[in-house]
Amino acid sequence: MTPQQAHQLQFILPFLIVIPILVLRLRKMSRPQPLKLGRLWIRPAILVLAAATVLFLPQPGQHVAAHLTPEEWAGLALAAALGGIGGWYWGRTMHIEVHPENGTLMARGNSLAILVLVLLILVKLGLRPLLAAEGGTMHLDVLMITDASIVFSVALFGVRSLEMYLRARRVMANAPPPTG
C-alpha cells in the first residue's frame, strides 16, 4: 500500500464506520424510547470518571500527573462552558412525554441532535490534519486541544442528561393519571 493510499484510507475509514452508526442512531431516535429517570446519571458519571482518568493521571512515559497552568484551566473551563451550553440545547430538543396508557416517561430524539453529532465529528476530523500540518508553527498544544475536546464532550452529555432529568420531572408532575 502506498503512502497516498494509506492517507486516503485513514480519511475515508472513519466515514465508513460513522455513517452507518449515525443512520442507525437516527432511526432509533425517531421512535419513542422509555426514559428511566433513575438511570440518567449513569452515562455522565462514567464519562466524568473516564475524563478525570485521562486528564489527571500520569500520561504514558511520565511518572507524575501534568500540572495545568492557569491558561490551560481557562481553556478547559471554556470548553466545559461551551459543552454545557450545547448540551442544554441538545437536551431541550428531546421530546419527552408520558405514555397515556401506562404512565411511563417516553423520550424521542430530534434530528437536530444528529446534526450536533455530525458537526462534532466534522470538527474533529478537520482539526486532525490542521494540527498535523500547522500545529507546531501555530504553537498549538495538541494534548491541550485533546483535553479540551474531552471536557467539552463530558459537559455536553452531562448537561444534556441534567436538562432532560429536570424537564422529565416537570412533565411527570403535570401529567394526568394513566388511563390503562
pLDDT band at 101 (very low <50, low <70, confident <90, very high): confident
Q: Provide the grid cell at 38.
A: 433513575
Mean pLDDT of the chain: 80
pTM: 0.74
State the Cα–Cα distance between residues 99 and 117, nearest whole angstrom. Answer: 28
**Cβ-based neighbours of 57, under 8 Å, separated by 6 or more:** 65
pLDDT digits (tens, 9 = 90+) for 53-88: 888 877 666 666 667 788 888 999 999 999 999 999
pLDDT tens for 135-150 read: 556 556 777 888 888 8
The terminus-to-terminus CA distance of the chain in angstroms comes to 63
Which of these, 111, 93, 97, 119, lies nearest to 28 by C-alpha position? Answer: 111
| Residue 45 pLDDT exceeds 90 | yes
Q: Which residues contact 117 (CB under 8 A, 6 or more apart)?
A: 22, 25
- Tell me what the mean pLDDT of segment 36-40 comes to: 87
Q: Domain spans of the chain?
A: 3-174
**Cell numbers standing for residue 48:** 466524568
